[in-house]
């Protein structure tokens, strides 16, 4: 009897799961980008200065950071399907409410709600990747879903600029916020756990279950241990690699957050572009980043045998692109628009590859699948505690100096520090929980 040849990621039906995750994070970031593109119009209407806008930009990051560990733990305990549905409902409603805001206080309030909902996206997505994709496909699957960030910013920046011009900034929030509820209906209709997915062939299901991490399979279908969040978090925080990953992600995320929040304003104020042109030029570096991320994600998998990946060898790929992303230090020497876009594109492309590779490296090092959601919550908390400073620090630096040069210099120096941290600290597996740290078992639907 002939044995069916296992499908590849791109030809198998599990590719639809990668697209589901891509579209989820795309809507997530569209709701973030809306504020950065609409910021000049909002600041003009309310007469807000750079410091006030910096605090507004960072508003969602405070609750986002606070809810990262709880949302990851909830995904471990109750499953991805339920947590994703609740999260996107909350952040989409708050995105719409941003368009109805009439003061700095209630606009920040809506952004706080947005951050609380969006906190679940990346921990849950990485947990689903661990469940749905063989170890050998982890880098590619991670970069597919993560590229949704940069595809979204590339395409939505000019689109949202057009919406702001033609419908006003309030209309842009109403329209983009509604997309999350469309995604919710599709998610509830089609997403199922790997073991029970009705539209997955038996051959592909067997291929996934036999080639993903042994810990996921040995835990049994859909098994999620009912661990105490405090004990699970404490167990992870006692491990050196967890700290190294979180701190290095923060060094990369600072630049990412600066770009997401301030890039359109920089292009308008420092480079003299109008809103539409700034929207288009904002999109170019992100489009370049998305393309390169997809290419290098697949290459990373090809260069790493699964056994080397589990030993943390992917950290060398992270280090290389961290050092390349520090090319943003050259931006103050660029005088032409072409030079500006070239430097922004190189730095941002390398930065996005770093972030995706840190996610993949974290999944490589996690030995216990029951901890995946909580571990990613800690990882992202570390990343965002540093990243959330970027909008505020940039606002103060721009107000004090009248220039973005110092702000970009800070963002260029941090990746060098991050490369040193990940080389030194992210070298050991993230160990599984011991029996004394587990509670009674609970069955949940992913």
Instruction: List phi, psi (to 5°) of 15.
Output: -60, -30
- Cβ neighbours, 10 Å, residue 312: 22
List, as one string, the DSSP characters of 352-386.
Answer: HHHHHHHHHHHHHHB--GGGHHHHHHHHHHHHHHH
Nearest to 411 by CA among 334, 344, 328, 293: 328
Question: E strands of 41-176, at which residues?
Answer: none
Q: How confident is the model at residue 2 (pLDDT cuts 50, 70, 90)?
A: very low
Does position 292 have pLDDT exceeding 50, yes or no? yes
The Cα–Cα gap between 187 and 21 comes to 10
The Cα–Cα gap between 173 and 325 comes to 32
**Which has the minimum average pLDDT: 227-231, 242-246, 353-357, 381-385?**
227-231
Residue 276 near residue 385 (C-beta atoms within 8 A): no
372-387 and 389-401 helices cross at what angle (nearest 10)?
10
The per-residue pLDDT for 227 is 56
More confident residue, 171 or 1: 171
Q: How confident is the model at residue 219 (pLDDT cuts 50, 70, 90)?
A: very low
pLDDT, tens only, 131-164: 899 888 888 888 898 888 878 777 887 888 888 8
Instruction: List phi, psi (to 5°) of 225.
Output: -75, 140
The per-residue pLDDT for 431 is 81
Average pLDDT along the chain: 84
pLDDT, tens only, 14-32: 999 999 999 999 998 888 8
Does position 45 have pLDDT exceeding 90, yes or no? no
The Cα–Cα gap between 149 and 159 comes to 15
The Cα–Cα gap between 290 and 39 comes to 24
Does position 6 have pLDDT exceeding 70, yes or no? no
The per-residue pLDDT for 224 is 41
**Which has the minimum average pLDDT: 33-47, 142-156, 195-209, 215-229?**
215-229
The Cα–Cα gap between 39 and 99 comes to 12
Q: How confident is the model at residue 7 (pLDDT cuts 50, 70, 90)?
A: confident
Q: How confident is the model at residue 443 (pLDDT cuts 50, 70, 90)?
A: very low
Q: How confident is the model at residue 248 (pLDDT cuts 50, 70, 90)?
A: very high
Say yes or no: domain 15-218+229-432 is CATH 1.20.1250.20: yes
**Residue 278, helix vs strand vs coil:** helix
The per-residue pLDDT for 392 is 84
Q: Is the torsion defined by CA of 349, 353, 354, 355 positive or negative?
A: positive
The per-residue pLDDT for 433 is 61
The Cα–Cα gap between 356 and 363 comes to 11
In this prediction the pTM is 0.73
Computed over its alpha carbons, how large is the radius of gyration of the chain?
21
More confident residue, 60 or 94: 94
The Cα–Cα gap between 73 and 241 comes to 19
pLDDT, tens only, 416-440: 999 999 999 988 888 876 544 444 4
The per-residue pLDDT for 318 is 94
Nearest to 32 by CA among 185, 184, 177, 182: 177
The per-residue pLDDT for 434 is 54
Does position 127 have pLDDT exceeding 80, yes or no? yes
Q: What is the mean pLDDT of residues 332-351?
A: 90
Question: E strands of 153-250, at which residues?
Answer: 223-225
pLDDT, tens only, 190-204: 898 888 888 988 899
* Residue that has been written with the tokens 């390398």 in this structure: 350
The per-residue pLDDT for 242 is 92
Q: Where exactly are the structural domains of the chain?
A: 15-218+229-432
Conformation bin of residue 312: beta by default, left when phi > 0, alpha when psi is -120 to 50: left
More confident residue, 220 or 50: 50
**Which has the minimum average pLDDT: 44-48, 222-226, 330-334?**
222-226
């Amino acid at each position: 009897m002939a044995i069916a040849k296992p499908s590849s990621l791109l030809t198998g039906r599990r590719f639809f799961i990668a697209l589901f995750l891509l579209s989820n994070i795309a809507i997530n970031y569209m709701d973030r980008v809306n504020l950065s593109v609409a910021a000049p119009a909002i600041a003009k209407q309310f007469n807000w200065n750079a410091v006030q806008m910096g605090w507004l930009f960072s508003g969602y990051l405070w609750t986002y950071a606070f809810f990262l560990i709880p949302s990851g733990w909830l995904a471990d305990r109750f499953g991805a399907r339920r947590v994703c549905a609740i999260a996107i409902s909350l952040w989409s409603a708050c995105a719409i409410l941003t368009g109805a805001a009439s003061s700095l206080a209630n606009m920040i309030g809506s952004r706080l709600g947005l951050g609380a909902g969006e906190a679940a996206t990346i921990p849950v997505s990485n947990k689903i990747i661990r469940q749905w994709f063989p170890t050998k496909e982890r880098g590619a699957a991670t970069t597919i879903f993560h590229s949704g960030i940069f595809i979204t910013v590339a395409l939505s920046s000019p689109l949202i600029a057009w919406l702001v011009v033609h419908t006003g900034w309030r209309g842009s929030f109403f329209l983009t916020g509604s997309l999350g509820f469309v995604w919710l209906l599709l998610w509830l209709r089609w997403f199922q756990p790997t073991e029970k997915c009705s539209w997955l062939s038996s051959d592909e299901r067997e291929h996934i279950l036999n080639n993903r991490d042994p810990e996921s399979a040995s835990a049994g279908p859909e098994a999620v241990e009912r661990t105490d969040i405090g004990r699970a978090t404490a167990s992870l925080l006692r491990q050196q690699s967890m700290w190294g990953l979180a701190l290095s992600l923060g060094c990369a995320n600072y630049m990412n957050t600066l770009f997401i929040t301030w890039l359109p304003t920089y292009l308008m104020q420092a480079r003299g572009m109008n809103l539409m042109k700034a929207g288009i030029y904002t999109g170019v570096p992100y489009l370049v980043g998305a393309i390169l991320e997809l290419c290098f994600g697949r290459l990373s998998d090809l260069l790493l045998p699964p056994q080397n990946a589990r030993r943390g060898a992917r950290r060398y790929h992270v280090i290389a692109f961290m050092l390349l992303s520090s090319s943003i230090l050259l931006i103050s020497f660029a005088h032409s628009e072409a030079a500006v876009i070239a430097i922004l594109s190189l730095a941002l492309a390398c930065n996005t590859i770093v972030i995706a590779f840190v996610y993949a490296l974290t999944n490589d090092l996690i030995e216990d699948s029951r901890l995946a959601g909580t571990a990613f919550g800690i990882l992202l908390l570390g990343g965002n505690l540093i990243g959330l400073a970027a909008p505020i620090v940039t606002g103060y630096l721009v107000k004090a100096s009248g220039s973005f040069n110092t702000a970009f210099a800070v963002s260029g120096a941090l990746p060098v520090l991050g490369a040193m941290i990940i080389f030194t600290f992210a070298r050991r597996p993230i160990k599984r929980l011991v029996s004394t740290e587990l509670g009674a078992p609970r069955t949940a639907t992913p």
